[in-house]
A and B are shown apart, each in its own frame.
Chain A
Amino acid sequence: MHWFRQRKFFIILISPAIIYLIITAFYPLVDSLRLSFFREGEFLGLRNYIDAVTREYFLPNLVRSFFWSISIVLGQNIIGMTFAVLLNSQIKYRNLWRGLQYLPWLLSPTVVAVLWISFCLPVRGLINTTLRNLDLLSLMRDWLGDPQTALPAIIIADTWHWYAFFTIMYLAGMQNIPESLNDAARVDGANEWDIFRHIAFPLLKPIILTASIIQFLWVFRFFDLIWIMTKGGPIKASEILATQIYKTALFRYDFNEAAALGIIMSFIMLIFVFLYLYYYRRGEA
């Protein structure tokens, strides 16, 4: 009782939010966990899990999920870091340039899908039109309909969409690097690349790690863009775990196996959550 009285205000203020999140986010998760052990009301133990991982498409989907997230996080890191370095220097109208390069970040995935589908159209799409004008007919293809290029095309679209997350994080991190440090290095004859490699990069390392893990988790579970652009196709060329779960549940109506697959995906993500918390704690200490 004493414990409660001391924390009365705190608990009154936070409980609406916490109760809301337990009902709307954690109850469905726990309910999925329960469902993953059953089929038609009968307890099956790990049967659904075994079914899910022994599907011949499980392993390719898993590999594709990692390929998808890792390439996007890498690509966005490169673009985001380049922008951060360029926009951290004393250039004219800096705020305007910063504002402009954030713009893709504010778009809806649906809008991004519409734009990139219009680029990738087989006959009239911008990419093929450009190739035709350059007389590079052999390179023309149905970018989203070709199993070899479908996933890379969506990866490029998504890299473009959310690279600015890294610009934001790295610009915020660079603000904490004192300018005097860079000046001192310049006096000692270091060029801009040396300064980046030996001062900015080591100091930004914790942010690079945490931002990459946050973005990895976000991209790994991301569904919208792939769904709108290819629905995981052609055949299964752009299928990842997130789209597979959705198909298993809403197309095959196998909610039990979908739940099992979802729980497996959650465990994979949990590893990265712990990694994040580890670096986050270290950053705070």
Chain B
Amino acid sequence: MKGRKNLLSYIILAILLVAVLFPILWMILIAFTPRQYLFESIIPPRFTSRHFIAVLTDTKALLAYRNSWIISGGVVFLTLILGIPAGYAFSRYKFSKLKTYLILFLLITQMLPITLLATAYFRIVPSFGLYNSLFALILVDGTLTLPFAILLLRSTFDTVPKELEEVAMIDGCSKMEAFIRITLPLATAGIFAAAFFSFLTAWIEFLYGLTLTSNTAARPMTVEMANRLGHYVIHWGELMAMACALTVPVLLVFLPFQNILLKGFTGGALKG
């Protein structure tokens, strides 16, 4: 009886997994399908790396890919620089009223109507001369990542006992040294999770990239790909190769570290 039930759940799981993973498999297969066999069968009679070579020799695509890396890297830096002190403060200090209001502020910041903000940025950002600028995109993408990162980091610092810092301070460390030598290393997992989700948010961001760029100077990969969908002839193989380039780096970090990352994620999302 028990065995049969298990078999049934294995079968349901297998069917669901195949269904859910098929589009990703499809993306990889099309990226390697020669143009003449495109969309003819799921698995082509032979494979080609031409689409990847075409993308690698395409200046516009390469620039967009570079921009995506710079923007995402910048957002991670900005988020951690601002988020670590704030998350630490929220975890360590117990001024209930002020803290409650500030946490409310963060929760609401997470839920702002982003299209409205995009139209506002479209008016405001050019007046600072920051249209088509990577710096502007880092600044506005940070608003998407920082509130969540602060809440995530707060719940991480909650797990580091305050007593450890106090012991270090008795041994002659300053408050700052105790934080850097004791607390920060113990919070590595949470900081890594905050960095990952900030990176991911900026990496997949589309709306602000669309609104605040008009040329290749700062246009991210997501917008470059969407533009190519509007071309008269759509090169599906190249688009899928670009999609792979946008997906593989994330998977390579996520899969080995999924437990650490998701623990951080639920800490930020559930404890709020």
List residues of chain A with CB within 8 A of the CB of B30: 118
Contact of A51 with B by CB under 8 A: no
Min CB distance A169 to B, Å, is 7
Main secondary structure of the interface of B (DSSP, over half): helix
Query: Which residue of B109, B139, B236, B270 is within 8 Å of A169 (Cβ)?
Result: B270
A-B pairs with beta carbons under 8 Å apart, 27 shown: A7-B95, A14-B89, A17-B83, A20-B146, A21-B105, A21-B106, A25-B109, A28-B120, A28-B124, A31-B124, A99-B258, A106-B254, A107-B24, A108-B247, A110-B226, A110-B243, A115-B23, A121-B39, A172-B266, A223-B114, A246-B115, A246-B118, A255-B119, A262-B119, A265-B113, A266-B113, A280-B272
Interchain CA distance A149-B24 in the complex, whole Å: 23
* Given known contacts A32-B116, A265-B113, A111 and B247 CB-to-CB distance under 8 angstroms: yes
Complex: chain B residue closest to A10, CB-CB: B93
Contact of B108 with A by CB under 8 A: yes
Interchain CA distance A228-B234 in the complex, whole Å: 14
Interface size, chain A (Cβ < 8 Å) = 86
- Complex A-B, nearest 4 residue pairs according to Cβ-Cβ distance, in ascending order: A262-B116, A108-B204, A28-B120, A13-B89
Q: Is the CB of A103 within 8 A of B24?
A: yes
Q: Which residues of chain B from 115 to 160 have any CB-CB distance to chain A below 8 Å in the complex? A: 115-124, 139-140, 142-143, 146-147, 150
Interchain CA distance A7-B102 in the complex, whole Å: 14
Contact of B9 with A by CB under 8 A: yes
Contact of A95 with B by CB under 8 A: yes
List residues of chain B with CB within 8 A of the CB of A112: 23
Q: Is the CB of B211 within 8 A of A255?
A: no
Contact of B170 with A by CB under 8 A: no
Contact of B43 with A by CB under 8 A: no
Q: Is the CB of B85 within 8 A of A101?
A: no
Query: Which residue of A21, A31, A89, A262 is within 8 Å of B113 (Cβ)?
Result: A262
Min CB distance B231 to A, Å, is 13
Query: Which residue of B102, B210, B243 is within 8 Å of A114 (Cβ)?
Result: B243
Interchain CA distance A29-B12 in the complex, whole Å: 47
Q: Is the CB of B269 within 8 A of A214?
A: yes
Complex: chain B residue closest to A165, CB-CB: B269
Contact of B203 with A by CB under 8 A: yes
Contact of B56 with A by CB under 8 A: no
* Given known contacts A97-B13, A113-B229, A245-B116, A24 and B86 CB-to-CB distance under 8 angstroms: no
List residues of chain B with CB within 8 A of the CB of A26: 109
User: For chain B, which range describes its interface: under 10, 10 to 19, 20 to 34, or 35 or more residues?
Assistant: 35 or more
Contact of B52 with A by CB under 8 A: no
Query: Which residue of B23, B206, B254 is within 8 Å of A102 (Cβ)?
Result: B254
* Given known contacts A106-B247, A111-B247, A221 and B115 CB-to-CB distance under 8 angstroms: yes
Q: Is the CB of B115 within 8 A of A20?
A: no
Q: Is the CB of B98 within 8 A of A7?
A: yes
A: residues with CB less than 8 A from B are 6-7, 9-10, 13-14, 16-18, 20-21, 24-29, 31-32, 79, 82-83, 86-87, 89, 91, 95, 97-104, 106-119, 121, 124-126, 129, 160, 168-169, 172, 192, 207, 210, 214, 217, 221, 223-224, 227-228, 242-243, 245-246, 249-250, 255, 258-259, 262-263, 265-266, 269, 273, 276-277, 280
Q: Is the CB of A104 within 8 A of B124?
A: no
Q: Is the CB of A277 within 8 A of B104?
A: yes
Main secondary structure of the interface of A (DSSP, over half): helix
Complex: chain A residue closest to B83, CB-CB: A17
List residues of chain B with CB within 8 A of the CB of A250: 119, 122, 211
List residues of chain B with CB within 8 A of the CB of A101: 16-17, 20-21
Contact of B10 with A by CB under 8 A: yes
Contact of B54 with A by CB under 8 A: no
Contact of B57 with A by CB under 8 A: no
Interchain CA distance A16-B243 in the complex, whole Å: 36
Q: Is the CB of A102 within 8 A of B258?
A: yes
Interchain CA distance A109-B221 in the complex, whole Å: 12
Contact of B259 with A by CB under 8 A: yes
Type the 1/0 row for B62-87, where 1 means its CB is closer than 8 Å to any CB of A.
00000000000000000001110110
Type the 1/0 row for B245-272, where 1 means its CB is closer than 8 Å to any CB of A.
0110011001100110010011001101
List residues of chain B with CB within 8 A of the CB of A99: 254-255, 258
Contact of B167 with A by CB under 8 A: no
List residues of chain A with CB within 8 A of the CB of B6: 91
